[in-house]
């Protein structure tokens, strides 16, 4: 029997996922379905339900969930900057609860707009504290100046810290679609990439189809070192620009009639990894 240090993993069907929405999020159904596909319970929850601004019978408590997922879309219309408004609304209402959630080691996933929110909220890269007071990085306009939308090839470069890739072998490549205009990860820190690397915070890098170093269009936004997804130093908060929840089954891969190795989509292992790890 596997040793879990006395703490048994939860059964997937007992794992509760909060898929957070506000006006403008638009990938919440796929996100909830992705967690359901690996057996977890997933609920779409509007921010107002968490902050007590809805009728009592519809209220929800973040404390009751095991995983928090921030789906893609255009929260609050991408006004000011992508993710800035939802991040500010979270910070001013349930900021402390979210910080505690992360400190508890509970996983938080942000995809696309969700990644932008995590960066604006200071939960990523979070070098020095769980949640920095202001953003210490930015997801800025793609080098092309355009909305980029196509399948990309990602390589798992994480050495084992990130809970979301715990069952994906290092170096494995996965195909996932991207769809964003602001995906270029920037920081003021000249040693940004090195710090991420040293802390094992780099999760996915864009590569070419043959696994070699990406350049445009394989790296769709021009992020240094082809970074597509990062985690916090503890490994329980991950943000990524590509959309794993859109490729849960092979049927939504663009080449499924030609390359149908199995019916499982390349995004599924991310959800399976994290749900299996909940204690």
Q: Least distance (Å) from another protein to the CB of residue 67?
A: 27
- CB distance 180 to 206 below 8 Å: no
Nearest distance from residue 119's CB to another protein, in Å?
9
Site for another protein in 126-155 (CB under 8 A): 134-138, 140-146
Catalytic positions, please? Answer: 112, 243, 245
- Is residue 190 part of the contact set for another protein (CB under 8 A)? no
* Residue recorded with tokens 């196509």: 150
Nearest-angstrom CA–CA distance, 260 and 27: 25
Q: By CB under 8 A, is residue 188 in contact with another protein?
A: yes
* Cβ proximity of 175 and 250 under 8 Å: no
Q: What minimum distance in Å lies between the beta carbon of 81 and another protein?
A: 6
Closest separation in Å from C-beta 267 to another protein: 29
User: What DSSP element (H or E) covers 201?
Assistant: none
- Length, in residues, of the chain: 279
Q: Provide the CB-side half-sphere exposure for 115 (13 A, CA).
A: 27
- Complex with another protein: residue 76 or 203, whichever CB lies closer: 76
Residues 57-96, one symbol each (x = binds another protein by CB under 8 A, - = not), give -----------------------xx--xx--x--------
| Helical packing angle, 113-120 and 84-93, nearest 10° | 50
Nearer to another protein, 104 or 224 (CB): 224
Taken in order 31, 34, 36, 40, the sign of the CA dihedral is: negative
Q: Residues 157-186: x/- map of binding to another protein (CB under 8 A)?
A: -----------------------------x
φ, ψ at 127 (rounded to 5°)? -60, -45
**Locate tokens 């390349």: which residue?**
266
What residues from 197 to 216 belong to the interface with another protein (CB under 8 A)? none
151's CB contacts (< 8 A; 6+ apart) are 175, 176, 177, 178, 253, 254
Among 187, 199, 223, 232, binds another protein (CB under 8 A): 187
Query: Do 84 and 192 form a contact (C-beta atoms < 8 A)?
Result: no
Count residues contacting another protein (CB under 8 A)?
Answer: 21
Is residue 56 a contact residue for another protein (CB under 8 A)?
A: no
Report the residue number, 125 or 235, with the smaller CB distance to another protein: 125
203 vs 172: CA distance, rounded Å: 11
Closer residue to another protein, CB minimum distance, 140 or 204 = 140
Q: What residues line the site for another protein (CB under 8 A)?
A: 80-81, 84-85, 88, 120, 134-138, 140-146, 186-188
């Amino acid at each position: 029997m596997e040793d879990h240090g006395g703490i048994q993993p939860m059964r997937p069907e007992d794992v509760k996922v909060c898929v957070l929405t506000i006006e403008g999020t638009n990938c919440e159904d796929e996100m909830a379905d992705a967690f359901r596909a690996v057996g977890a319970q997933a609920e779409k929850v509007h921010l107002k339900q968490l902050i007590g601004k809805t009728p009592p019978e519809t209220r929800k408590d973040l404390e009751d969930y095991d995983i928090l997922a921030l789906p893609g879309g255009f929260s609050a219309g991408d006004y000011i900057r992508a993710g800035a408004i939802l991040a500010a609304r979270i910070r001013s209402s349930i900021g402390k609860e979210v910080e505690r959630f992360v400190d508890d080691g509970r996983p938080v996933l942000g995809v696309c707009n969700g990644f932008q929110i995590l960066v604006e909220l200071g939960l990523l890269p979070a070098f020095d504290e769980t949640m920095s007071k202001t953003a210490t990085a930015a997801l800025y306009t793609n080098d092309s100046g355009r909305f980029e939308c196509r399948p990309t090839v990602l390589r798992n470069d994480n050495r084992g810290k990130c809970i979301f890739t715990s069952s994906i072998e290092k170096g494995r490549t996965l195909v996932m679609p991207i769809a964003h205009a602001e995906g270029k990860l920037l920081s003021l820190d000249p040693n940004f990439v090195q710090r991420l690397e040293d802390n094992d915070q780099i999760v996915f890098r864009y590569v070419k189809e043959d696994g070699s170093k990406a350049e445009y269009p394989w790296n769709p936004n021009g992020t240094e070192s082809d970074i597509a997804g990062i985690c916090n130093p503890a490994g329980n908060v991950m943000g990524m620009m590509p959309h794993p929840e859109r490729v849960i089954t092979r049927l939504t891969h663009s080449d499924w009639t030609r390359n149908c190795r199995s019916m499982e989509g390349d995004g599924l292992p991310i959800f399976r990894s994290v749900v299996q790890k909940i204690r």
